[in-house]
Amino acid sequence: MGKKWMSGILGGFLLVLATVFSANAGPDAERRLELRVTPVVKAVRVAAPAVVNITTSRIVERHPFYDFFGSRFGPDDFFHFFGPMQEEATSLGSGVIIDGKSGLVVTNAHVIAGATDIRVRLQDGRVFRANLVGSGPDFDIALLRLENARGLPAIVMGASADLMPGETVIAIGNPLGFNHTVTTGVVSALGRSIRTKQSFHTDLVQTDAAINPGNSGGPLINVFGELIGINTAIVDGASGIGFAIPVDRVRMVTEELLRKGGVHPVWTGLFGQDIDERTAMLLELPKDAGGVLVTEVVPDSPAARAAIQPGDVIVQMGREELRGGKAHLQLLLRSRLSGESMEVVLSRRGEPVRTRLVPEPFTLDRAKDMAMLRWGMKIAVGERPEKGVYVREVRAQSPAAETGIARGDRLLNINGIDLSSPENVMRAISNVYMDNAVMLVVGRNGRAYHVPLRL
C-alpha cells in the first residue's frame, strides 16, 4: 500500500515536470529566444561572415649566435662576422570583405607590411591566398584581393559622419589568435588623434570595446551590422581605450588605392616656420604661442585659393590645435587626402580668420620641383637603365652644392624612407620639403654615405 502510494506521488510529480518542460518548449520558449536575440546578436549574424582572419609570412634576418650570447662579447658588429640567417616569421591580424564580387578585403597596412605571403581565412573555413592591391601606411589602410574566390559575403558600408558618443558599437576580429571574437562597447569619443611608432593619425573613433593584438584590421560595426570603422590601435597599459579609422575615410582611401595602388601625399602650397619667443614678441603673440608662421604662399596653390597670406599664423587645422609647430603641421598633412576639405583657423594681425583648405596631390613633378627649389638639385627618377633616383644637375651655391653633392650621385634614402619607387620619392620629399635639415643617404662609386643637408 505504502509503495503504491509513493509510486503514485512520484508519477504525478514526473507528470507535472513533463508538463512544465513541454510548456517551456512551446510558444513561451520561442518568445524567450526572440528576446535573447538582441540587436547586437542580429548585427553579429549579419556582419560576421564577412570578417576574415589574416595570416602573413615575412622573411627576417637574424644572427645565429645573438640569442645565445647577446651583447656579452661587445658590440653587435661582432656578430656580423658570421653573417645573418634568414627565417620565416608569421603574424596574425583581421580584415573584412567590402566587395564580395571582386574579392576585396580591407585591413591595416601594418598587418601586411613586409609580407611575402598573405593567407585569408573566412568564417566558413575557406582559405584564400591574397594579393596586395595597395597600401597607405600614413592612414594604416591596406586593400587586398583574394585569388580565385567565388561566392563571398561582404559587409555593408555604413557612415561615420553621424556617429554619436555613447552609441553601441561591436568589434569582431582575431585577438591573440581566437577566431571571430566579438566584443561590445560604446563610442567613447570622436575626432581623436594619436601618435604611433610609425605615424600620426587624426579624426579617429575612440571606443571601449575590448581590442587586443590581432584585432587590427577588423571591423567596428553598429547595431545594424554596418561597417563604421576599421580597428587600428590600442594604448599600451590602458584598459578600455581603443581606436578605429572612421569608415568615411576608409572608403576614400580604398577608392584611391583601387585607382592608383597607393595614396598620394598632399600639397598645400604654403611654407612656414616655427614661432620662437622673439617671433612671438614681434607678432604680439604670447611667448608660448603655438602655431606656424606662414612665410610663403605659392601662387595658384590650394593655400592661395584659401586666401592664406604670408604673415598669417596657422593656429588650428581641422580639430587639431598646432601646439607642435611646423612638425605638427606636417604630421597632420600626412594624414589628409587630396580633395579632402578641412577648416583652418588663422591669426591675422591678432584677429581670428577661418577658411577652408582643399589640398591637391603632391605629384612626382612637384617632388622634383621641391628638390630644385629647396635643395638646389635636379633629380631624375627611373630615367636610367638602372632604377633609382639620380642627381642630374646641382645649382651653384645651393645647399646641395655646399654639402658636396655632385651630378651623377644616386639618392638612396631621405630621412629614413628608401627611395625604391616613385611613390616613396613623393612621400619622402613631401614629408621634409619644409624642413631646415634633412638626412640623405647618397650613393657614389658603389658606396653609400650619410649626408646631412642644411638649409
Q: Which residues are catalytic?
A: 110, 140, 216
Contact 8, 1 (CB under 8 A): no
Residue length, the chain? 455
| Three-state secondary-structure class, residue 280 | helix
Containing 331, the helix (H) or strand (E) segment is: helix 325-334
Short-list 214, 215, 206, CA closest to 238 = 206
Q: Provide the CA 5 distance to its chain's centre, in angstroms.
A: 77
The Cα 335–Cα 339 span in angstroms is 13
N-term to C-term CA, the chain: 112
Q: What amino acid occupies position 216?
A: S
Distant-in-sequence, close-in-space partners of 195: CB < 8 Å, separation ≥ 6: 201, 331
Distant-in-sequence, close-in-space partners of 433: CB < 8 Å, separation ≥ 6: 370, 374
* 70, three cell numbers: 647577446
Which pairing describes strands 156-157 and 226-234: parallel, antiparallel, or unpaired?
Answer: parallel
Q: Provide the CA 145 distance to its chain's centre, in angstroms.
A: 19
